[in-house]
Amino acid sequence: MSYDTDTQSKMDEMLESEKIENIMRSARPQVAVIGVGGAGCNIVSWVKEKKGGIAGAKLIAANTDAVHLSILKADRRILLGEKTTRGMGAGGYRERGEQATRESLEQVKKDIAGSNIVYIAAGLGGGTGTGGSWVIANSLKQTGALLIGVVTLPFAVERFRYNSAKEGLEKLRDQCDTIIVIDNNRLAKVAGDLPLKEALGVANELVGEFVKGITETITTASLINIDFADLRAIMQKRGIAAMGVGESEGDERIERAVQTALDAQLLDIKDSTKAYGVLIHVSGGEDITLDEVTQAGEMVTRSLPGKARVVWGARVDPTLQGKVRVMVALTGIESTFLSTQQSAVSRLIHVRTS
Ligand SMILES: Nc1nc2c(ncn2[C@@H]2O[C@H](COP(=O)(O)OP(=O)(O)OP(=O)(O)O)[C@@H](O)[C@H]2O)c(=O)[nH]1
Ligand SMILES: [Mg+2]
């Protein structure tokens, strides 16, 4: 090869590599995670502080409470409704949370602009998260981004917040593609009947791990990557989703982790076999094998007869030495909370007034 053709071929190779790199960068989805209200912001802050953030995602904390915001960790913090609440929170009134969010909506939209996947995290039952999350989801609808809500339902001791949470959930469901609902009461049981404060910590960790896990199997090279198109297929316009998590070590650890994740759904659902799709995320220490990951996918597929679409991804998490963790989200399900809550609430009112 002459000097010239050699140089030319090297240049071609460089140009090609650059092109691949550029296309890969633009094909990789932009992800934003926004926590709205106290609980939502705590989730975001947990991921930022304890996990060093999420590769390829922007973490945003939005709250009406200035004191709470001031101690949070996030890539971006937004004080919602300075005029409406003067930085003092929405005091449990979701109308106030809604108004405060509308006041700051332009800022929120600016920070999320360009995202292809947006997670909206909130604890339902208070003012800011319940009133503001659906307003944010609504304002993003025209952007074409995949909108995934991740919310918690109030604890039994917070019964007075049920009605508000239910209305907030219905509104958010109508704006999001999929909304993953975690019932704090189920979570507390799964976590071994912890005191309230610790149970909240577990909820933050669980939601944080889930969002980080799924996102990084899309944005970074993983053991098994999840394709954005696959995620979209099982999440787009699918309504309510439930999730479960299982962790195990030792013999048959993957079987046990999958079984726990399937058995311990964190939301009462009518019939898991009717789920539209299943998203599985497997993580484990350096010793996790591809065989185990495949086994997890096969087990879930077997346990859900019919046509449920199954998508799975896996990552190595060095902090899980010797352990495997399986997270499963069932999309397109029917929630008992939404259909029976009204009668439970009226029973409660009846008891109180009788
Ligand atoms: N996962 C999780 N849930 C929480 C946490 N704190 C509170 N919750 C739950 O979320 C619900 C709403 O609480 P907050 O998020 O504090 O309320 P808010 O949206 O800030 O609303 P206002 O304080 O009224 O402005 C509560 O009723 C609890 O069930 C938390 O740190 N993590
Ligand atoms: Mg608050």
Give the CATH number of the domain where residue 42 resides: 3.40.50.1440
Distance CA 328, CA 286 (A): 21
Higher-confidence residue: 334 or 281? 281
Same domain, 128 and 46: yes
**What atom of ligand 1 comes closest to residue 184's alpha carbon?**
29
- The answer to whether 269 touches 254, Cβ cutoff 8 Å, is no
- The per-residue pLDDT for range 110-140, each reduced to its tens digit, is 999 999 999 999 999 999 999 999 999 999 9
Same domain, 107 and 165: yes
Q: Is the pLDDT of residue 85 over 90?
A: yes
Residue 269 lies in a domain: yes
Span from the CA of 253 to the centroid of ligand 1 (angstroms): 34
Task: Find, among 147, 157, 151, the residue nearest to 183 by Cα.
Answer: 151
Exposure of 176 by Cβ count < 10 A (0-12 exposed, 13-18 middle, 19+ buried)? buried
pLDDT at position 107: 97
Mean pLDDT along residues 303-309: 77
Mean pLDDT along residues 263-287: 86
Nearest CA to ligand 1 atom 11: 123
Same domain, 59 and 204: yes
Give the CATH number of the domain where residue 326 resides: 3.30.1330.20
**What atom of ligand 1 comes closest to residue 154's alpha carbon?**
29
Amino acid at 79: L
Nearest CA to ligand 1 atom 7: 39
- The per-residue pLDDT for range 201-231, each reduced to its tens digit, is 888 998 999 999 999 999 888 889 998 999 9
The ligand that comes nearest to the alpha carbon of residue 44 is 1
pLDDT at position 308: 78
Nearest CA to ligand 1 atom 10: 123
Cβ contacts of 248 within 8 Å, gap of 6 or more: 254, 256, 257, 260, 323, 324
Same domain, 215 and 276: no
Q: Which domain holds residue 146?
A: 29-220
**What atom of ligand 1 comes closest to residue 68's alpha carbon?**
20
Amino acid at 262: L
Q: How confident is the model at residue 1 (pLDDT cuts 50, 70, 90)?
A: low
Higher-confidence residue: 12 or 354? 12
Distance CA 243, CA 327 (A): 7
Residue 204 lies in a domain: yes
Higher-confidence residue: 6 or 103? 103
Same domain, 41 and 148: yes
Same domain, 52 and 178: yes
Of the chain, the percentage scoring pLDDT greater than 90 comes to: 64
Same domain, 250 and 203: no
Q: Count CB-CB contacts under 10 A for residue 155.
A: 17
Mean pLDDT along residues 176-203: 85
Q: Helix (H, G, I), strand (E, B), or coil: what is residue 1?
A: coil
Please list all protein residues whose beta carbon sits less than 5 angstroms from ligand 2, which is an ion.
Answer: 38, 65, 89
Same domain, 205 and 65: yes
What stretches of the chain show up as alpha helix (H) in DSSP? Answer: 3-27, 37-51, 66-70, 82-85, 94-103, 105-112, 128-140, 162-175, 184-190, 196-219, 228-235, 253-263, 290-303, 336-353
Residue 39 lies in a domain: yes
Ligand 1 pocket residues where CB is under 6 Å = 37-39, 42, 64, 89-92, 97, 123, 125-129, 152, 154-155, 158, 161, 184, 200, 203-204
Same domain, 288 and 216: no
Same domain, 136 and 280: no
Residue 354 lies in a domain: no
pLDDT at position 348: 38
Same domain, 36 and 100: yes
Of the chain, the percentage scoring pLDDT greater than 70 comes to: 93
Cβ contacts of 243 within 8 Å, gap of 6 or more: 180, 182, 210, 265, 266, 267, 327, 328, 329, 330
Average pLDDT, the chain: 88
Residue 4 lies in a domain: no
58-62, 184-188, 272-276, 346-350: lowest mean pLDDT where? 346-350
Q: What are the backbone dihedrals phi and psi of residue 54, each rounded to the nearest 5 degrees, phi first?
A: -125, 125
pLDDT at position 3: 60
* Whole-Å CA distances, 233 to 101, 278, 308: 30, 11, 12
pLDDT at position 324: 96
Mean pLDDT along residues 17-42: 85
Same domain, 177 and 261: no
Query: What domain count does the chain have?
Result: 2
123-132, 135-144, 298-307, 320-329: lowest mean pLDDT where? 298-307
